[in-house]
Amino acid sequence: MNVEFITKEDLYIFKKELLQELLAALKQQPQKSNQWLKSMEVRKMLNVSPNTLQRLRIKGVLKFSKVGSTFYYRADNVQKMLEGKAAR
């Protein structure tokens, strides 16, 4: 039977290698910011009133999901709308 001892130095080296691998894996994944936005955030981004945001929902201009009484909007849909406004 072979017995191997692990020293503090071995653990330190292992920790450094593990951290480097984790950081490399995180850098490879695309960074997603806030994927879902609440109405207040969208109104600030678009600089619109609550009524205007409601009209955008009703007309289907801005897609949304509703959970309970809270409306959520995908950040990429809001960004596309912002880019569309800038093009006008």
pLDDT of residue 79: 87
Q: What is the pLDDT along the chain (88 residues), one digit of tens a residue?
A: 888 899 999 999 999 999 999 888 878 766 556 689 999 999 998 999 999 999 999 999 999 999 999 999 999 899 888 877 644 4
Distance in angstroms (rounded) separating the CA atoms of residues 38 and 54: 13
pLDDT of residue 34: 62
Report the alpha-carbon angle 69-78-27, nearest 5.
105
Pairing of strands 70-74, 65-67: antiparallel
Helices (H), the chain: 8-28, 39-46, 50-59, 75-87
